A = this chain, B = another copy of it.
Amino acid sequence: MTRYKINLEYDGTSYNGWQKQKDAPTIQNAIEEAIKNFCQQETTVLSAGRTDAGVHALNQVAHFDLNGDFDTRKIIMGVNNHLREACLKKNREFCNSNLRLLLHFPIQDIIILDCQIVDNKFHSRFSAKKRSYKYRILNRNTSNPLEHNRVWHIYEKLDLDKMQKAAECLIGKHDFSSFRDSDCQASSPIKTVDEIKLYRKEQEIIFEITAKSFLHHMARNIVGTLKKVGNGTISVNEFKEILNAKDRRKAGITAPACGLYFVNVEY
């Protein structure tokens, strides 16, 4: 068996997240299906980050095993072709061949950016040293028609300075129970955040977070709580108290999935 590592970009809008499900379309399902159509082999594709429904990826990493050495360029082109065909087929069914409707649907919503043959010891999930996520908040009066499903629109003016001060306390090793979803299956609520960046980019506030691993909904729950600091609902100190409380009920809402991007993995 040869192990292949792939880099993926996707628009998560149409999918129930990464993880394979029987009755709902997922990214993992779509890729495994495309690989099967490409080389008639059943395989399991495992990713570095199991993104939730509606979450996007700019550079997700995954791996799978196949019998035989395939030219990696052929994998990229071949599997991408099958992903595109599946996407178009699904869209046509959705839209009953209404061409005006079809315009709105991505021709290809999952794409393999790169493929490499790797050692059989490489594991996209367990070999990962650092994962990075980015969250995009559009912070202006009106929504942006060109960024639908790409950002969280917050019309209240957010105080970036205060949000930055609040976020500082998250860096390092902490019990993140306050930002942990009740469905989280991690064995411990203790995680180490290596880096956080919060900055303005044109009309957006961008939140970037890097850690070895995350609790379920951790990034989105942090962003939902930082929003409350930004709009003055809670103070910087109260944000710190929320972290220390280790109680999900003290924190803010889960920020919408569409603003979150899985950015990168370091091995």
Partner-binding segment picked from A9-17, A174-182, A244-252: A9-17
Residue in B109, B144, B146 whose beta carbon sits within 8 Å of that of A145 in the complex: B109
Q: At the interface, yes or no: A190 with Cβ under 8 Å from chain B? A: no
Q: How far is the CA of A179 from the CA of B200 in the complex (A)?
A: 39
In contact, A9 and B145 (Cβ under 8 angstroms)? yes
Per-residue CB contact flags for chain A residues 181-221 toward chain B (1 = under 8 Å, else 0) read 00000000000000000000000000000000000000000
Contact A101 B94, CB 8 Å, known A10-B145, A11-B146: yes
In contact, A107 and B143 (Cβ under 8 angstroms)? yes
Residues of B within 8 A of A109 (CB): 145, 148
Q: How far is the CA of A95 from the CA of B80 in the complex (A)?
A: 27
Instruction: Give residues of chain A (90-129) contacting chain B, Cβ–Cβ below 8 Å.
Output: 94-95, 98, 100-101, 103-113
CB distance from A147 to the nearest CB of B (A): 9
CB distance from A199 to the nearest CB of B (A): 17
In contact, B142 and A80 (Cβ under 8 angstroms)? yes
In contact, A94 and B105 (Cβ under 8 angstroms)? no
In contact, B106 and A145 (Cβ under 8 angstroms)? yes
In contact, B146 and A56 (Cβ under 8 angstroms)? yes
Q: At the interface, yes or no: A164 with Cβ under 8 Å from chain B? A: no
Q: At the interface, yes or no: A150 with Cβ under 8 Å from chain B? A: yes
Q: How far is the CA of A105 from the CA of B148 in the complex (A)?
A: 8
In contact, A143 and B11 (Cβ under 8 angstroms)? no
Residue in B100, B112, B150 whose beta carbon sits within 8 Å of that of A14 in the complex: B100
Q: Which residue of B lies closest to A111 (CB)?
A: B142
Q: How far is the CA of A141 from the CA of B148 in the complex (A)?
A: 25
Q: Which residue of B lies closest to A24 (CB)?
A: B100
In contact, B143 and A13 (Cβ under 8 angstroms)? no
In contact, B145 and A111 (Cβ under 8 angstroms)? yes
Q: How far is the CA of A56 from the CA of B107 in the complex (A)?
A: 19
Q: How far is the CA of A207 from the CA of B109 in the complex (A)?
A: 26
In contact, B142 and A112 (Cβ under 8 angstroms)? yes
CB distance from A237 to the nearest CB of B (A): 35
Can you pick out 16 interface pairs between chain A and chain B where the beta carbons lie within 8 Å of each other? A9-B142, A9-B145, A10-B145, A11-B145, A13-B103, A14-B103, A14-B104, A56-B146, A58-B146, A103-B149, A105-B148, A106-B145, A107-B143, A107-B148, A108-B143, A112-B142
Query: A11-B146, A111-B145, A112-B142 given. 4 additional CB < 8 A pairs?
Result: A9-B145, A10-B145, A94-B101, A103-B149
